[in-house]
Structure 1
């Protein structure tokens, strides 16, 4: 039973804020991680949502941190609260509110931010509000490492991702027989990928199991053994299954045929298998192309200098503006010379009502019913609830899973579309059959990273809540570590899943193919490079963000196209700007709230 009953309202605020925090982690951090898999078409948006939901929730509940650090990353000391548990309860409640406020704002405005740094920024704010700037550790062992990680994480991840992609590009993709080489080298890839991902689980994704405390010999045996088993399974089951698809062209294969394993070597393909075009998905990014069947491939067009130049872009932009201006000056304006006249015409039924702007790729919203008078009138309440409120609620919950991410990424003004076409024309697109081989490894990498993320980063949402719960239920001042009840882990995991499914499309729509062209081989290299970085940084004790790692990996792989114009530098500037704003804004919100409440006037006793 709780002992701090007078502060029940603070615990309630913390619960709400922690759920919004977890929701934001799912909609921002997890969506950012899976944008690569969706953009490369290795996973559909719905498949990514279900895979991430399962992996994130299981990671949080099964192996999530059973003990949370009271002060995230040791940025401030518990001594700033002078041993007053009530003040600490208030401080962490304000930190939760500050974190969820900034994360919600950032997600709403499609700003990919680090959720870890958001939590750290909120803690910095309450530290400054309590004891001034001297309460914060600004050196290398504190905030200095966070500033350094803005450059360290992207550079390390970019280096590893570039190495992986360049090896893949010249050893497999550009070889004389890429499909044959890809099939032969796939078990080696599976061994390396499984070994690195196992290491990632050990050092980052299993805080409750203490696997990182195992002896070095046991750890090495587990890593190499797991890699060897996965490689063997790939030879027994994956290789015959994929061979039947990409070599035999057997379009009748279903997912459950995978478990037939070696028997698939003798399975006869349909007579028209080699001429039919349905065994392997089409991974080419067509949404950004001109869709002219007589045109050459995008890569060839780039080499022939047929890409759109700056003058064409400006012409397209000015043409778009002129068309809009002429439309505004056209019949509608002469018919209704003022905005008031337009409104009067609509009310009189003489002109159609203006429809809201439709977002490309998003499902059409429900047709809400109109009514006369106030919605509070009894005869209108049923209409509002039955035909407006319920359809709106269902649309809000389900529309995310029905969103076409590629259509959203390709949407924009004519000027934006022209720039995206130019950027994608520079990147060479390879054979679908060989790209199909890397889609499996990309999915495996994304799911494992998601599991580790759910196990480790769920603490960003529920760590402060665990401290609030401990103080509220015992009235005792906490130690440096606090136990995390299983219900809090499930609470945070559920918030992550809901946020990803309902609002994850927002971040995915501005990332992926809007940064640079994605494909399974590129996406696999990006995610694998980010995973290697997380493993290396964990061993070295460097705090890196998965958001920053995947961004650096994306930039490096994009530059491997051999032209700096293959990247959307304006979008990258927006992402870096989001990182810079995170610490000060989260700190300002939580610090100001804490200072105002703590120093507010009170009634005399």
Structure 2
């Protein structure tokens, strides 16, 4: 006699449990693999420090500083770089894998080729080193600052909030400096200017991005002959981008290795504009031949310029923000080896390599989360909107530099995304179709609360989370840093 059949559904339930276990195992493995690779990189950074340490008396602090510098570089790659490629990915101008490769190559190139071999050790001049003459105390203060700023950026990345790593370092240095030598150590006018950038950066970025989107809508999208408009306006817009990036790289992206005068910058800007305009007119005419008179054709024509813009933004970012990882690291090494506190020091090649490769690794391992946030979750992107964000990032830095205003590249880029989204909301409310309905006297039914939320093109929850993270970055990093400084000095001094 055969065994009775199992109750109906038992096998299905067992298979479902097994499937859930396998999925959970894959999820755990997926979380552990990036951590393992990051751990290997930090071990390699420690090994490099061991090989380049100047003596046994500085070996321990050199190892610790190198690991912390590598950790900070990973967090910069995970958080900051998303601002440069996120809109292009969200606009489907390039895939996530393409964005990661382009960003890694150009971030590393910017850090190694234009990052400079001399870096500031005390970010933005926010503390007076003369009030902290003890090199040993300075080493502990900078160690605490580096660890605290990296921890805060790590936490912000986990929360999905793009924050300014420069502001995190500023807060870390301020916190440990105050803990070591009191409030008189801090340059408060400079801190006030940095606080002002919380408003200045996103506002400028948002206004400039919205202005370019308005031009694109009025001159390209809402016209009868889109192809003819594209042949007239896209070469001009790309030429503006080329001129802006030539100026941007001259005053910002290459400043650590080359500081041209105003006339040279003007020639570079005008030359890049004129050359690009001459090249792009026949290129766009050839590319647009036979294209459909539709918005999808316009999006295709913007893809290549947008990819170039993202690559240039990554190069400039790598050249500038690698100092957030290696500046404090170089300061620790110099103070430990020379027994003196310096505001600028030479950064050895192995230190530059830790910063450059750490940023790229952090981007590959943890960057996709923030790329998704900036590119898709704040507001919907397409190549034309993403192009406005990239162009705004370059122009805002130029305008702010001329006006002597402090800005944050992270706040500019994310503010530009906000500006694009809020402009779209305003434009939709004032669309010609709706105005025509009102003029015809057609009554407009009141929208329900759900419908009103659906019409919002900027997700308010993400907006509030990101703004809150911006506001608390400096005080949070400062608090972490002060606490770590007290712990370190209590244990080792």
TM-score range, shorter chain: 0.7 to 0.9
Contact 1:65 1:459 in 2 (8 A): no
Distance of 2:95 and 2:135 partners within structure 1: 48
| From 453, 463, 479, the counterpart of 1:572 | 463
1:80 aligns with 2:131: yes
Matched, 1:56 2:104: no
Deviation of 1:79 (Å): 2.1
Deviation at 1:565, TM superposition (A): 1.8
Shift of 1:137: 2.0
Name the residue aligned to 1:228: 274
Q: Of Structure 1 and Structure 2, which has the larger fraction of its residues in helix? A: 2
The correspondence for 1:437, drawn from 288, 301, 311, is 301
User: 1:191, CA displacement in angstroms?
Assistant: 1.6
Q: Is the Cα–Cα contact under 8 Å of residues 196 and 406 in structure 2 kept in the other structure? A: no
Q: Residue 531 of structure 1 corresponds to which residue in structure 2?
A: 394
1:69 is the counterpart of 2:120: yes
1:149 aligns with 2:197: yes
Change (3 A) 1:199 1:108: same
Deviation at 1:111, TM superposition (A): 1.9
Aligned to 2:347: 484
Aligned equivalent of 2:249: 201
2:33 is matched with none
1:596 equivalenced with 2:491 (yes/no): no
User: Is this contact kept in 1: 2:172–2:474, CA < 8 A?
Assistant: yes
- Aligned partner (choices 354, 365, 378) of residue 515 of structure 1: 378
Larger RCO (CA within 8 A; separation ≥ 6): 1
User: Which 5+ residue runs of structure 1 have no aligned equivalent?
Assistant: 250-273, 275-429
Separation in 1 of the partners of 2:291 and 2:383?
A: 21
Q: Provide the C-alpha distance between the structure 2 equivalents of 1:90 and 1:189, rounded to a whole number of angstroms.
A: 50
Give the corresponding residue for 2:149.
99
Show the 5 A alignment for 1:305-316: none
Deviation per residue, 1:201-220 (Å, 9 max, x gap): 01110023323xx2322221
- Spell out, residue by residue over 1:373-428, the C-alpha distance to the aligned partner (whole angstroms, 9 max, x if none): xxxxxxxxxxxxxxxxxxxxxxxxxxxxxxxxxxxxxxxxxxxxxxxxxxxxxxxx
TM-score normalised per structure 2: 0.80
Does 1:505 find its partner at 2:396?
Answer: no
* 1:242 lines up with 2:287 in the alignment: yes
Which of residues 119, 128, 137 is equivalent to 2:169?
A: 119
Matched-pair contact (CA < 8 Å) for 1:183–1:437: no
**Once the two structures are superposed, what CA deviation does each residue of 1:84-108 show, in whole Å capped at 9, x if it has no partner?**
2222222212211111111112212
Deviations 1:168-208 (A, max 9, x none): 11011111111221122222122211000111101110023
Give secondary structure in 2 for the equivalent of 1:204.
Answer: helix
Provide the alpha-carbon RMSD of the alignment: 2.0
Q: Distance in 2 between matches of 1:242 and 1:23?
A: 40
Per the alignment, residue 11 of structure 2 pairs with none
Write the distance in 2 (CA, Å) between the matches of 1:111 and 1:559.
Answer: 19
- SS at structure 1 position matched to 2:379: coil
Q: Distance in 1 between matches of 2:62 and 2:261?
A: 41
The whole-number CA distance in structure 2 between the counterparts of 1:4 and 1:175 is 70
Residues matched between the structures, number: 414
Counterpart for residue 234 of structure 2: 186
- The question of 1:469 aligning with 2:333 is answered yes
TM-fit CA distance, 1:138: 2.2
- Contact 1:114–1:545, Cα closer than 8 Å, also in 2: yes
2:222 is the counterpart of 1:174: yes
CA distance in 1, matches of 2:253, 2:374: 25
Partner of 2:476: 585
TM-score under structure 1 normalisation? 0.66
CA distance, structure 1, for counterparts of residue 375 and residue 53 of structure 2: 47
Separation in structure 2 between the aligned mates of residue 542 and residue 9 of structure 1, nearest angstrom: 40
Indicate conservation of the 8 Å contact 1:80/1:127, yes or no: no
Q: From the superposition, tell whether residues 573 and 490 of structure 1 become closer, same or farther in structure 2 (CA, over 3 Å).
A: same
- 1:194–1:226 contact (8 Å) kept in structure 2: yes
- Partners of 2:103 and 2:172 lie apart in 1 by 27
Report the CA distance between 1:18 and its aligned residue.
0.8
Check 1:495–1:601 CA distance in 2 against 1; reply closer, same or farther (3 A cut).
Answer: closer
For 1:130-149, list aligned pairs within 5 A: 130-139=180-189, 142-149=190-197
Deviation at 1:22, TM superposition (A): 0.7
Within the candidate set 63, 70, 95, 1:19 is matched to 70
CA deviations 1:18-65 (Å, max 9, x no partner) are: 111111111101013311110000111011001101110101101113
Deviation sequence 1:258-311 (CA, Å, 0-9, x none): xxxxxxxxxxxxxxxx9xxxxxxxxxxxxxxxxxxxxxxxxxxxxxxxxxxxxx
Aligned to 2:40: none
